[in-house]
Amino acid sequence: AQKVTQAQTEISVVEKEDVTLDCVYETRDTTYYLFWYKQPPSGELVFLIRRNSFDEQNEISGRYSWNFQKSTSSFNFTITASQVVDSAVYFCAPPGNQGGKLIFGQGTELSVKP
């Protein structure tokens, strides 16, 4: 069975701090993908990135970076020099085993204070 866990329910930081959001995905599959989505207070779901399990190199996009550690099944997402506009709920979501559905984690609510 697949299980995705975002253990951090809420994180609060002050602007310009770095923050890392954790996601652990337990599966018997040897190769898999995982997606990150952002849901700002306005409510829409915004696709951020797709990562795959056979690439453990960090991926960096501006202030965002993603790190995958296969030994711990951890897909971590780091925001460098956080800004108030980063305040949102962040979801990691691996695909389910049929029909292309996504299985969403519980989400981590990030609050960045000025």
Number of H-type helices and E-type strands within the chain: 0, 11
Selected binder of another protein within 2, 33, 78, 111 (CB under 8 A)? 33
CA-CA distances (angstroms) from residue 62 to 59, 82, 103? 10, 11, 27
Tokens read off for 63: 């202030």
Selected binder of another protein within 39, 65, 76, 111 (CB under 8 A)? 39
Residue 73, Cβ neighbours under 10 Å: how many? 18
Q: Is residue 96 at the binding interface for another protein, with CB under 8 A as the rule?
A: yes
Only segment of 18-26, 32-40, 63-71, 75-83 that touches another protein (CB under 8 A): 32-40
Selected binder of another protein within 24, 87, 102, 111 (CB under 8 A)? 102
Residues 51-90 that bind another protein (CB under 8 A): 52, 89
Q: Is residue 4 at the binding interface for another protein, with CB under 8 A as the rule?
A: no
> What is the phi-psi region of residue 60: left when phi exceeds 0, alpha when psi lies from -120 to 50, beta otherwise?
beta
Residue whose C-alpha is closest to residue 34's, from 67, 60, 78, 79: 67
111 with 10: CB under 8 angstroms?
yes
Q: In the complex with another protein, which residue's Cβ is closer, 13 or 49?
A: 49
Q: Is residue 101 at the binding interface for another protein, with CB under 8 A as the rule?
A: yes
User: Which residues bind to another protein, rule: CB under 8 A?
Assistant: 32-33, 35, 37, 39, 43-47, 50, 52, 89, 91, 93, 95-96, 98-104, 106-107, 109
